[in-house]
Structure 1
Amino acid sequence: MSHAFRWLRSLMFIILAYAGMAVLGLVFAPFALFSRKAARRACKLFCVWARWLARVLVGIRSEVRGTVPTGEVIIAAKHQSFLDILLIFQAVPHAKFIMKRELLWTPVIGLYAKRIGCIPVDRKKRGKAIAQLVKDVAAEFVDPGQLVIYPQGTRVSPGVRLPYKVGAALLYDGLEEPCYPAATNVGLFWPRKGIMRYPGLAVVEFLDPIAPGMPRAEFMAELEKRVETGSNALMKEAGFDLNELD
C-alpha cells in the first residue's frame, strides 16, 4: 500500500471514528445525563466501533491479554495513544480515569468523562492537586470501579523514557487497594500524534497485581519495572527494534 493511500485511509478512519463518537454521544446524551450505566454503555459502544473501524480501514487488530481486573482496584498503565484508553475501557467493567481537567471542556468527551466517574486533576496546582486527588478518588470509590491512572502523566511515544510520577504511589497508599500494572505497544500502530495509522496487532496486557502495603519507593520501582519490561516485550513481539525508535 502506498504512503499516500495509507494516509488517506488513516484520515478516513479518524473522520469516521469521531463522527461515530458524535452520533453516539448525541443519541445517548438524554440517558447519560441521568444514568451512569447508560453513559458507560455509550462509551463501550464507541470502543467497539473504533476498534472495528481500525481493523477494517487501517489494519490495526487489537486484543487484551492477562487477567482483566474487577472490583475496587487501581490500574497503572502505560499510555501511548488513545487506543490504549479504548482497550482498557472496553475490557474492564467500570473504568474511571484520572484525567487532566481541561478535558472536561471537550465536546462529548467531557460530558461522558464526568458521567462515568472520571476524576479531573489540575496540573498547574500539583501539590494541592495530588492531595485533592486522593480525597476525590476515595469519595468516588463509593461507586465501585477500576481506577485507571497513567503514572507517567501523559502519552509517551515508543522508545521514549519519561519518569514515573508520585501520584500513582499516593493513590496506592491512600486507597490500600491492589494495583494492576498494564503494558502496551499500541503507539507503534496508532501514534500519539499525527494522522498516519499502521497495520499490526495492538495489545494491552494486564500484568500480575501488586498487593497493597508495599513501601512507596519499592512500589514505584516495581511498577516501573513491570510496565516498562512488559511494554518492551510487546513491542519486540511486534517486530520493532527499540534501538531504532525515536
Structure 2
Amino acid sequence: MTLAFRYLRSLIFIVQMYVAMLVLGIVFAPFAILSKGGARLGCKTYCAWVLWTARWMVGIRTEWRGPIPTDEVVVAAKHQSFLDILMIFYKVPQAKFIMKQELMWAPIMGIYAKRLGCVPVNRGRRGAAIAKMVQDVAREFKEPGQLVIYPQGTRVAPGVVKPYKVGTAILFEALKQPLVPVATNVGLFWPRKGILRTPGTAVVEFLDPIAAGTERDAMMHDLETRIETRSNALMADAGFPSLRS
C-alpha cells in the first residue's frame, strides 16, 4: 500500500468519524435529554463505531489488558491521542473525565460531556482551577462513577518526556479512593496531530491500583514510574524504542 493511499484512507476515516459524531449525537439527543444513561449509551455507541471502523478502514486493532475498574476509583491514564479516550470510555462502565474547559463548548461533544458530568478545568488559572476542580468533582460524585484524569494534563506524543502534575494527587487525597494507573501505546498508530493512521494493535492496559491513603510523594512517584515504564514497554513491543527501563 502506497503512502499516498494510506493518507487517503486515513482522511476518509477521519471525515466519517466526525460525520458519525454528528449523526449519532442527533439520533441519541432525545435519550440524552431524558437521562444520563441515554447520553452514556449514545457515547458508547459512538466509541464502538469508531473502534470498528478504525479496524477495517485503517488497520488499527484495539486491545484492553488488566482488570477493568468498576468500583468508585480515580483512573489516572497516559494520554497520547483521542483513541485512548475512546477506548477507556468504551470499557469503563461509568467514566467521567477531567477535561479542558474549551471542549465543553464544542458542538455535540461538549453537550454530551456536560450531560455525563465531566468536569471542566481552566488550565490557565492553576491554583484556582485546581480548587474549582475539586469542588466540581465532589458535586458530580454524589453519583457513583470512575473519574478519569490525565496526570500530564495533555496529550503527550510517544518518546516525549513531560512531568506529572499535582492535580492528580489533590484529587486522590480529596476523594479518598484507590487510584488505577493506565498505560498505553496508542500514539504510535493514532497520533496526537496529523492525518496519517498506522496499522497495528493499540493497547490500553489497566494496572494494579494504588491504595487510598498512600502518602502524596510516594503515590506520585509510583504512578509516574509504573505508567511510564509500562507504556514504554508496550511501545517497545510495537517497535518503538523504550526511553526508560
Which category describes the TM-score, using the shorter chain as reference length? over 0.9
| Equivalent residues of 2:190, 2:198 under 8 A apart | yes
1:39-58 map, 5 Å:
39-58=39-58
Q: Is the 8 A contact 1:77 1:183 kept in 2?
A: yes
Residue range with higher mean Cα deviation, 136-145 or 73-82: 136-145
Secondary structure of 1:152's aligned partner: coil
**Partner-residue secondary structure (3-state), 2:128:** helix
Which deviations, in whole Å up to 9, do the C-alpha atoms of 1:170-200 show, x marking residues without a partner? 0001100000000000000000000000000
> How many pairs are equivalent?
243
Residues 200-215 of structure 1: matches in 2 within 5 Å? Answer: 200-215=200-215
Q: TM-score, normalised by structure 1?
A: 0.97
Deviation at 1:202, TM superposition (A): 0.1
Q: Aligned residue for 2:153?
A: 153
Q: Which amino acid aligns with 1:66?
A: G
SS for the counterpart of 1:33 is helix
**What SS does structure 1 have at the residue aligned with 2:28?**
helix
Q: Which residue of 1 aligns with 2:115?
A: 115
Residues 157 and 192 of structure 1 are in contact (CA less than 8 Å); yes or no, is this contact kept in structure 2? Answer: yes
Q: What is the match of residue 24 of structure 2?
A: 24
Letter in 2 for 1:165: K
C-alpha separation between the residues in 1 aligned to 2:113 and 2:179?
A: 22
Residues 76 and 179 in structure 1, CA contact (< 8 A), matched pair in contact too? yes
Name 1:189's counterpart in structure 2: 189
- How far apart in 1 are the matches of 2:146 and 2:174? 15
What is aligned with 1:128? 128
Q: Aligned AA for 2:184?
A: T
2:88 maps to what in 1?
A: 88
- For residue 222 of structure 1, give the secondary structure of its aligned residue in structure 2: helix
Gaps of 5+ in 2: none
How far is 1:242 from its partner?
A: 3.8
Name the counterpart of 1:216: 216
Matching residue's letter, 2:194: G
What is the RMSD computed on CA atoms of the aligned residues? 0.8
- 1:65 is aligned to 65
Which deviates more, 153-162 or 63-72? 63-72
Give me the whole-angstrom Cα distance separating, in 2, the residues matched to 1:166 and 1:157: 20
| TM-score normalised by the chain length of structure 2 | 0.98
CA distance in 2, matches of 1:181, 1:114: 25
CA distance in 2, matches of 1:71, 1:133: 21
Q: Percent identity?
A: 64
